[in-house]
């Protein structure tokens, strides 16, 4: 009889631990902070590593109701979609969101052109409505978003928000504001390991604190590039554990934002009867995106559909209760 | 397992006779190491050489097969991560049917499942097998489902029946159909005999790694290699760990007892849970999963996930090169052009749709590359686009004479206008996400 010994990989690196939010004795107004990262092995492999912090789920509210917000989601948010503070409350209290992302896409000149002041008002509204750590999510109209983020960073100084995001072509202004007001930052790159490293290097070169960086490798949703995101995340995580410190940061993904732009979560059963019930389809599509990227290594997931949130949270809890193999 | 050229050389006759077509044994050994030659090309190879190199050439994970009219294959996997090379066989999806179910319902289900096919990027997606469970006292009911499936479907069958007599009868019914049998208890000599006589695929169930090792070795040593491994587990996290350990053992330690594809019957509290678990396990090493329940949305999501994850990363999926109507275009609608990389097609068509206009989307064949890659390779040029326009006789179908090209290839506009006299080239935006804004602000026709 051949004896079997469980094969354990040699690990030479780990994921940094990043704290989001700040309590009153830390200068903020959150009831608690959330820490992500810290893993010393591939996702959920408890037999060969430590996982001090489980992946977490955020939900997103909007400064302006998105023009194309689908009916399947309006079923849940119709009463609050125009009131980000109330929507945040609903997401936290009813649907279990562990963080709230405030998407300030309305400040984009072509999507509402909301002013910096308006954006600040909305952020304050949400901050007073919920006590969970906050993510501030922007867009890629550089001139405007830099203005918005600069002011938001200043106004929320002490809260240690997660500022989402900077990119290779636009990072200095927002990163500087994060340093000045002590926020955490998302470094977003277009599904490319080298570009991801490059952005991290640029940030570190301007003395950005290494324990305040979160990576966003850009999420392709199911059917629209998922496998690219999946493999990039796996490659980044493998490189990190092999010792590459420049890729050793926790990762954020956007199944919500990406899944609800596409046909598959929006069309009616009449248009595409073969695709099944629209409510189920919407939830399943986002859940499948989330679960697969969780398997790859994502630590912070921004989800939209309450059913996906519930399902994915439950699975994370279940897996963290699993202990070792066998 | 990789053997070096030098080690292979030590096993060869070392006479440099040249009969294999290569002047020296060393050169032949090198070719063998690179898999550019086969040992049988050497007429003087010893039995020892054949045995050692044969074992080394054996795949670290066996191939399993179920079914005859529609064959399902699994296994022969070579990597832990798809980005290392590619996964080989996509996860099989089996739908469970129970003998306790009412006959009319069963027939309806079987027909529904048999008919359920979705086309996505030129590929037809469907379920692979039926998992038939005997959960009543009446043997006839079990034999009845088998009959119903045989009459209405070509898909292979997995038999889940603990009553040995009924199982034997079922196997007889399917003696020409190469079914699989799920063993819920420890494998016996009788199971092995039955498998050999009837050409069955066996699914071995074990409680832990040692138990699994013993059972797999027993089967393998008796010559039964058409196997799936099923390590009993009620926690998704533990199952992931088990699956990882099993695949690592097969691929990295060359641990032969675990060199077989993995099976999982997915227990779930509800369909959201089922979809979540199935998605996770499909990504992480399950070669065959059984769904106790289903609906169209669930299958469509899983099919798409399976297609995504099991795509060969080196071979981008392509869509057919042609004119795609977005919305309800007229001969005066705008004309966009881009490449036939499936992702490009999805993103661009999606954004044009989102903007609410109707348009013609020209998709040019560049062997599935993205815009910049295709341009750099000389496949997405003014000349090539013009040729495509002529080949499909676009000018006879539409009146528009303005064509919108992707912003990243603005440099081809001069060449394209030259190659398409009478047409004006409009340079579009660079990112698909800017398309709605572009459409709002630019005159397209």
pLDDT (tens digit per residue) in B291-341: 999 999 999 999 999 999 999 998 888 999 999 999 999 999 999 999 999
Distance in angstroms (rounded) separating the CA atoms of residues A183 and A186: 10
Q: Given an 8 Å threshold on Cβ–Cβ distance, is A292 in contact with B280?
A: yes
Indicate if the pLDDT at residue B1 is higher than 90: no
Please report the residues numbered 78 through 117 in chain A whose beta carbons come closer than 8 angstroms to any beta carbon of chain B: 110
Pick among B238, B289, B356, B438 to test the A interface (most A CBs inside 10 A): B238
User: What's the alpha-carbon Rg for chain B, to the nearest Å?
Assistant: 28
Task: Give CA torsion, residues B13, B15, B21, B27, to 10 deg.
Answer: 80
Structure tokens of A319?
């897996």
pLDDT of residue B138 exceeding 50, the answer is yes
Pairing between β-strand B92-98 and β-strand B72-75 as defined by DSSP bridges: unpaired
Rounded to an integer, what distance in angstroms lies between the CA atom of residue B111 and that of residue A216?
A: 44
Chain A residues closer than 8 Å to B282 by CB: 292
Q: Which of B50-54, B263-267, B370-374 has the lowest mean pLDDT?
A: B50-54
pLDDT of residue B82: 97
Least confident of A14-18, A66-70, B131-135, B200-204: A66-70
pLDDT of residue B122: 83
| ipTM of the complex, rounded to two decimals | 0.97
Cβ of A274 within 8 Å of Cβ of B118? The answer is yes
Residue A204: how many CB atoms within 10 A of its CB? 14
Predicted pLDDT at B176: 94
H or E segment and range at residue B436 = helix B435-441
CB burial string B118-132: b at 16+ within 10 A, e below = bebbeeebebbbbbb
DSSP A230-286: HHHHHHHHHHHHTT-GGG-S-BEE-HHHHHTTSGGGTS-TTT-GGG--HHHHHHHHH
The predicted pLDDT at position B2 comes to: 63
Give the pLDDT confidence score for residue A325 in this predicted structure. Answer: 47
B283 inside 8 A of chain A by CB:
yes
CB contact under 8 A, B242 and A224: no
Residue A2 has a pLDDT of: 58
Q: How far is CA B327 from CA B85, B332, B355, B361, in A?
A: 39, 13, 10, 11
CB B117 within 8 A of CB B124: yes
Distances (CA, A) of B183 to B4, B214, B231, B285: 40, 14, 12, 20
- Sort out which chain A residues have CB atoms less than 8 A from B327's CB and list them: none
Of A190, A213, A192, A191, nearest in space to A202 by CA? A213
| A51 has a chain B CB within 8 A of its CB | no
Task: Report how far apart the first and last C-alpha atoms of chain A are (Å, whole number).
Answer: 20
Q: Would you state the structure tokens that stand for residue B43, as one six-digit string?
A: 């007429």
Please give the pLDDT value at position A324.
54
Nearest-angstrom CA–CA distance, A6 and A292: 25
Locate the chain B residue with the closest alpha carbon to A280.
B297
Q: To the nearest whole number, what is the mean pLDDT of chain B?
A: 94
Supply the pLDDT for residue B445. Answer: 86
Taking residues B211-216, what's their average pLDDT?
97
The pLDDT of residue A326 = 42
The tokens of A260 are what? 């609800």
- Residues of chain B with pLDDT > 70, as a percent, come to 100
Query: Could you count the other beta carbons within 10 Å of the beta carbon of residue A201?
Result: 10
Angle between helical axes of A306-320 and B271-283 (0-180°, round to 10)? 60
The residue ranges of chain A whose pLDDT is under 70 are 1-2, 323-326
Q: What's the CA gap between A3 and B224, in Å, rounded?
A: 21
Quick check: B297 and A225 CB within 8 A? no
pLDDT at residue B39, as a whole number: 87
Q: Which residues of B touch A231 (CB under 8 A)?
A: 81-83, 313
Return the pLDDT at A1.
Answer: 52
Q: What is the pTM of this model?
A: 0.91
Query: Strand pairing of B118-120 and B123-125?
Result: antiparallel
Residue B130 pLDDT > 70, yes or no? yes
Percent of chain B at pLDDT exceeding 90? 83
CB interface of B with A, residues 329-348, below 8 Å: 343, 346-347
| pLDDT surpassing 50 at residue B288 | yes
- Helices B296-309/A226-241 angle, 10° precision: 50
pLDDT digits (tens, 9 = 90+) for A261-298: 898 999 999 999 999 999 999 999 999 999 999 999 99
Contact A224 B116 (CB under 8 A): no
Is B208 in CB contact (< 8 Å) with chain A? yes
Q: Mean pLDDT highest for which of A6-10, B17-21, B133-137?
A: B133-137
User: Residue B179, exposed/middle/buried by CB under 10 A (0-12, 13-18, 19+)?
Assistant: buried
Strand runs labelled E in B51-151: 63-66, 72-75, 92-98, 118-120, 123-125, 129-133
Inter-axis angle of helices A306-320 and B236-252, nearest 10:
60
Query: Which helix (H) or strand (E) is A300 found in, with range?
Result: strand A300-303
């Amino acid at each position: 009889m051949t004896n079997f010994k469980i094969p354990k990989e040699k690990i030479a690196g780990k994921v940094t631990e990043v704290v989001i939010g700040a309590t009153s004795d830390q200068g903020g107004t959150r009831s608690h902070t959330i820490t992500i990262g810290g893993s010393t092995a591939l996702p959920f492999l408890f037999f060969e590593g430590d996982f001090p912090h489980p992946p977490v789920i955020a939900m997103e509210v909007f400064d302006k109701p998105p023009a194309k917000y689908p009916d399947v989601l309006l079923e849940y948010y119709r009463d609050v979609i125009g009131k980000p503070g109330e929507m945040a409350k609903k997401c936290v209290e009813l649907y279990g969101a562990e963080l709230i992302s405030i998407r300030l896409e309305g400040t984009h000149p072509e999507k509402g052109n909301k002013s910096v002041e308006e954006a600040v008002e909305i952020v304050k509204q949400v901050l007073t409505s919920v006590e969970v750590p906050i993510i501030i999510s922007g867009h890629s109209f550089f001139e405007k978003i830099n203005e918005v983020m600069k002011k938001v960073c200043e106004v929320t100084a002490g809260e240690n928000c997660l500022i989402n995001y900077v990119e290779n072509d636009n990072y200095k202004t927002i990163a500087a504001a994060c340093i000045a007001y002590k926020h955490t930052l998302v470094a977003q790159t277009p599904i490319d390991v080298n570009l991801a490293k490059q952005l991290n290097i640029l940030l570190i070169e301007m003395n950005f604190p290494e324990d305040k960086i979160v990576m966003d490798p850009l999420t392709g949703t199911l059917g629209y590039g998922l496998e690219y995101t999946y493999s990039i995340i796996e490659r980044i995580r493998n490189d990190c554990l092999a010792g590459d410190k420049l890729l050793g940061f926790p990762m954020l993904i956007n199944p919500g934002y990406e899944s609800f732009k596409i046909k598959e979560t929006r069309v009616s059963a009449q248009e595409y009867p073969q695709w099944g019930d629209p409510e189920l389809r919407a939830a399943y599509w986002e859940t499948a995106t989330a679960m697969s990227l969780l398997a790859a290594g994502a630590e912070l997931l921004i989800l939209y559909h309450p059913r996906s949130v519930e399902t994915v949270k439950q699975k994370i809890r279940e897996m963290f209760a699993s202990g070792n193999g066998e | 397992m990789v053997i070096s050229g030098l080690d292979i050389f030590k096993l060869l006759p070392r006479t440099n006779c040249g009969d294999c077509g290569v002047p020296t044994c060393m050169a032949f050994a090198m070719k063998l190491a690179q898999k550019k030659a086969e040992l049988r090309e050497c007429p003087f190879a010893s039995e020892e050489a054949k045995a050692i190199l044969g074992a080394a050439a054996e795949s670290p994970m066996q191939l399993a097969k179920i079914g005859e009219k529609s064959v399902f294959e699994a296994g022969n996997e070579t990597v832990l991560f798809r980005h290392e090379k590619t996964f080989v066989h996509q996860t099989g999806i089996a739908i469970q049917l129970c003998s306790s179910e009412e006959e009319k319902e069963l027939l309806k289900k079987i027909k529904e499942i048999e008919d359920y096919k979705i086309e996505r990027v030129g590929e037809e997606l469907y379920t692979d097998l039926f998992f038939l469970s005997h959960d009543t006292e009446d043997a006839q009911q079990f034999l009845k489902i088998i009959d119903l499936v045989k009459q209405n479907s070509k898909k292979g069958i997995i038999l889940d029946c603990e009553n040995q007599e009924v199982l034997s009868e079922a196997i007889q019914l399917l003696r020409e159909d190469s079914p699989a049998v799920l063993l819920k208890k420890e494998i016996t000599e009788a199971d092995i005999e039955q498998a050999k006589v009837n050409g069955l695929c066996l699914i071995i169930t074990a409680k832990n790694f040692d138990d699994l090792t013993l059972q797999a070795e027993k089967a393998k040593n008796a010559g039964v290699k058409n196997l799936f491994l099923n390590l009993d587990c009620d926690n998704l996290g533990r199952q992931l760990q088990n699956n990882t350990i099993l695949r690592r053992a097969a691929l990295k330690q060359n641990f032969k007892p675990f060199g077989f594809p993995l099976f999982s019957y997915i227990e779930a509290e509800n369909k959201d849970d089922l979809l979540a678990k199935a998605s996770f396990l499909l990504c992480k090493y399950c070669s065959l999963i059984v769904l106790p329940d289903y609906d169209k949305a669930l299958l469509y999501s899983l099919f798409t996930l399976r297609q995504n994850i099991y795509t060969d990363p080196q071979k981008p999926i392509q869509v057919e090169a042609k004119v795609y109507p977005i919305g309800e275009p007229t001969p005066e609608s705008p004309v966009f052009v881009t490449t036939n990389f499936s992702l490009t097609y999805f993103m661009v068509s999606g954004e044009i749709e989102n903007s609410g206009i109707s348009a013609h989307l020209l998709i040019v064949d560049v062997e599935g590359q993205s815009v910049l890659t295709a341009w750099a390779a000389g496949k997405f040029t003014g000349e090539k686009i013009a040729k495509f326009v002529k080949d499909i006789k676009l000018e006879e179908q539409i009146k528009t004479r303005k064509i919108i090209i992707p912003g990243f290839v603005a440099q081809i506009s001069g060449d394209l206008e030259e190659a398409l006299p009478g047409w004006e080239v409009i340079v579009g935006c660079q990112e698909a996400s800017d398309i709605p804004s572009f459409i709002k602000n630019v005159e397209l026709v």
